[in-house]
Chain A
């Protein structure tokens, strides 16, 4: 349902029709029809798949489209950087007072302390951010989906064990645990993947577990089991397709979160190490130069903000399109 549909639905169910305590139509609905067009329209609409329907709705969501376009641009810039950035921007000017030059036509974002072009560094800085976003979330997804699936599907002792372990992970304040883990693993981009990846699984596992639990109750799962389908087959054919929507939404939003965490770790000097550019480490260098060179602070942060926002908007759009209920 779109927001408008929902509103209509609320108006409608608020006014007419016998409903039981749970808001479900009671048996008297045999002669009950819609007062407002919301429900009737749904029935009249040609049957489409969940995904087709969701895609149509997603396309109508302007903010989600803006997010998607921005993410695409950032990815394109990151991938193509080697082709064009060095030609135009990358070489340090090193021309005496070339350091800390204010933005100009030649250096659109200015230059840093040792005369490097900030624009080039911001473009290259997208690489660690995007790779952490994708890789760390993939690790979380892999761990979370497997553990969540085991937990939700088999239940019992295994479920209790996995969920209590998740509780233990949740007990740690996130940033603190990441830093403690990185203290053990040592700084560096690879370890950032691992740390963020490992710490992300409990939420994914919880989300997936609960959607599996709700799907598992459906009769078609019982039917498949009665027909002798194997656990794996039931899982992949019957449960996964129906339980995956919240994971897609959650995963998209997690990418934004992972990018922020990477930036924070690099800012604290525990992530990407100099001289490799990353948005977080650039901000760390900018800290002492806030007065003479504010552009050093502004642009990397702006890059983080817009990229994360793009993922959040996409996530919001998918949540609405797939009609996933989350705790906000």
Chain B
């Protein structure tokens, strides 16, 4: 088990270096729109002396590989540079936004788990019933819905129409996040963010459950005299859950990385929206720093998912060889 974890961590290193390399190439001056030095000084007039001073300070006059070295070493020290727009370090900007993103991600995951798992289980246990058809159909539709449009529809329905119908008595807020813990502000963004993944969870749960229910060990459990409920919820579910948990874990990683679209629709002050706004303002350090941090977080969460996968499945836990 320890060896497995170590190997996974070692595998992460080249991938992460690859990511930094791609991002480094993207931020080479000249590739990005706008003169970076002009962007750094902002409104001030740029004298040749000032330009030279800034180049010196940011190692811009060194060869590319030296710059990459500086970039990685700064990165490892947690230094992502300064924002062009706000005179703050990128690290502190991101640190402000991450809690909001995590709050939204966790809420969305809860929706996924509750709705997705239930729908998938019902669908599998009552295969070909009305409920199964309903779940199958609605998941097909959900994976085809653009999330930002779904968000807009929910805003229209629960923010605007509901308010009109109830004379302003009942409605859900549609922008911002209020002061935590403000659940009302959280509902619509969480549902929107969870929508597609919930459909996937339901689908995977259904197919895994159907597969598990067709296994020989289910017949063994029935022959033992277990109730159908015990067979479904104990013997089948525990097997079917393994891939589903993996999916949810990976999704959690992805959601932690910020949900650009959902956060934009609902003006949720998270990391995704921050990076998007930085793109619009050409605030490259925030963009590139944000992406690196997000990638790192996603990788770490995925590693944790892999480990928990091994913990869930005794065949991997005690089998020695993983994969």
Contacts and interface: CB of A to CB of B under 8 A. Distances in A.
Complex: A in contact with B (CB within 8 Å): yes
Interface in B139-179: 140-141, 143-149, 152-153, 155-156, 160
Contact of A328 (B200, B254, B295): B200
A226 interface: no
Interface in A30-85: 63
A297 B295 contact: no
Contact of A301 (B22, B153, B257): B153
B310 interface: no
Contact of B156 (A168, A267, A297): A297
A304 interface: yes
Interface residues of B, number: 54
Nearest to A11: B214
Contact of A176 (B140, B265, B272): B272
A326 B144 CA distance: 18
A168 B146 contact: no
A167 B295 contact: no
A263 B143 CA distance: 15
A176 B19 contact: no
B146 A305 contact: yes
A262 B281 CA distance: 21
Given A180-B287, A312-B140, A171 B279 contact: no
A305 B145 contact: yes
B110 interface: no
A260 B279 contact: no
Which of A181, A184, A290, A294: most chain B Cβ within 10 A?
Answer: A184
A146 interface: no
B291 interface: yes
Contacts of A286: 152
State the majority secondary structure of interface residues on A: helix
Interface residues of A, number: 47
B264 interface: yes
Contacts of A173: 254, 257-258, 294-295, 298
A167 B261 contact: no
Contacts of B19: 168, 171-172
A308 to B, nearest CB: 4
Interface in A154-180: 164-165, 167-168, 171-173, 175-177, 179-180
B214 A267 contact: no
Nearest to B215: A14
A165 B17 CA distance: 11
17 contacts: A164-B14, A171-B298, A172-B295, A173-B295, A176-B258, A177-B291, A180-B26, A180-B287, A256-B144, A290-B156, A297-B149, A300-B149, A305-B149, A309-B140, A312-B140, A313-B140, A328-B200
A120 B276 CA distance: 31
Contact of A269 (B149, B155, B280): B280
B117 interface: no
A267 B294 contact: no
A92 B8 CA distance: 60
A186 interface: yes
B276 A264 contact: no
Interface string B28-57: 000111000000000000000000000000
Interface in A171-226: 171-173, 175-177, 179-184, 186
A1 interface: no
Contacts of B254: 173
Contacts of B259: 175
B149 A176 contact: no
A179 B260 contact: yes
A283 interface: yes
